[in-house]
């Protein structure tokens, strides 16, 4: 079972593989990260209220083009630069309302342009590892300060008034728990805070175990299913593949590509209208 899971997650790279040979798996991961940002921008492009549609279409096409170039060994750095330039107008226009996804893309993908061959630079993967670790700890701190996770009230609210997938834990407690959250909802909220804290600390400590990566990818997919938000999880998975210096396998890329498409429809919509 372990070999099957690692075969799906980790590309065939070992100590005998050259930087150039392993680089394609790192570039595939970064291309996936760029595509996740592109897909996150897609609903805005399709918005009927877009004032300058030709410009928005040009910027979006440029970002996708940057993703394609990023897969090439020769033009990978150029691809990151093109993506970064095309992203600037979005950041300038929407910086005050940009979600976590957008800012994480800015702080993690754009710095790759500082390196001629970023996939051979341990400094870039270390930068991603430290950045993701800090982000995890910041997310845990925000939940801890809010208090609504530890007391279970947020999970209880989502269980009754959230989206289709956020209702999945409703069966654990009765309707009365909206006023007095039950033990299960408190447990789930506390577990999320502790998990993010633990992952953040392990990332900062430099742990790069494949087991750790597999478990974290599984957790991210589970969180994406629960929140009906797979795009952000795909971005995190792609960045972790680089931070752990293993790259992204073709099988994992195929899964992420499907999830990006599903995210546009939303899992809740599929559950209600298809299944």
Tens of pLDDT, residue by residue over 149-162, are 999 888 888 888 88
Interval 24-40 mean pLDDT? 93
- Tell me which residue of 144, 135, 145 sits closest to 220, measured CA to CA: 135
> Which 3 state secondary structure label does DSSP give 16?
coil
Residue 66 CB contacts under 8 Å (≥ 6 apart), including other chains: 34, 79, 80, 81, 82, 83, 84, 86
Predicted model pTM: 0.89
DSSP string for residues in 44-57: HHT-TT-S-HHHHH
Interval 131-139 mean pLDDT? 95
Q: Would you state the pLDDT for residue 274?
A: 62
CA atoms of 103 and 37, how far apart (whole Å): 10
Which of 44-53, 79-88, 212-221, 238-247 is least confident? 44-53
- Tell me which residue of 242, 220, 241 sits closest to 232, measured CA to CA: 220
- Between the ranges 78-92, 109-123, 151-165, 213-227, where is the mean pLDDT highest? 109-123
- Contact (CB, 8 A) for 158 and 166: yes
Confidence of residue 15 (pLDDT cuts 50, 70, 90): very low
pLDDT of 16 > 50? The answer is no
CA atoms of 182 and 265, how far apart (whole Å): 33
- Contact (CB, 8 A) for 158 and 223: no
């Amino acid at each position: 079972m372990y070999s099957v899971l690692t075969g799906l997650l980790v590309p065939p790279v070992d100590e005998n593989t050259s930087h150039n040979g392993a680089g394609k798996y790192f570039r595939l991961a970064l291309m996936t990260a760029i595509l996740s940002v592109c897909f996150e921008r897609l609903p805005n492009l399709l918005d009927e209220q877009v004032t300058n549609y030709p410009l928005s279409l040009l910027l979006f096409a440029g970002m996708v083009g940057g993703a394609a170039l990023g897969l090439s060994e020769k033009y990978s750095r150029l691809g990151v630069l093109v993506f970064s330039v095309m992203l600037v107008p979005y950041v300038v226009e929407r910086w005050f309302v940009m979600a976590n996804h957008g800012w994480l893309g800015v702080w993690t993908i754009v710095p790759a342009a500082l390196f001629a061959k970023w996939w051979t630079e341990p400094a870039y993967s270390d930068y991603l590892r430290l950045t993701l670790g800090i982000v995890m700890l910041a997310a845990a701190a925000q939940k801890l300060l809010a208090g609504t996770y530890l007391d279970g009230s947020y999970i209880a609210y989502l269980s009754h008034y959230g989206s289709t997938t956020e209702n999945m834990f409703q069966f654990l407690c009765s309707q009365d728990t909206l006023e007095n959250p039950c033990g299960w909802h408190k447990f789930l909220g506390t577990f999320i805070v502790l998990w993010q804290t633990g992952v953040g600390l392990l990332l900062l400590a430099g742990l790069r175990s494949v087991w750790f990566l597999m478990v974290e990818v599984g957790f991210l997919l589970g969180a994406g299913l629960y929140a009906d938000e797979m795009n952000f999880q795909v971005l995190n998975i792609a960045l972790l593949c680089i931070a752990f210096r293993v790259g992204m396998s073709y099988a994992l890329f195929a899964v992420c590509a499907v999830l990006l498409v599903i995210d546009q429809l939303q899992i809740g919509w599929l559950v209600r209208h298809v299944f």
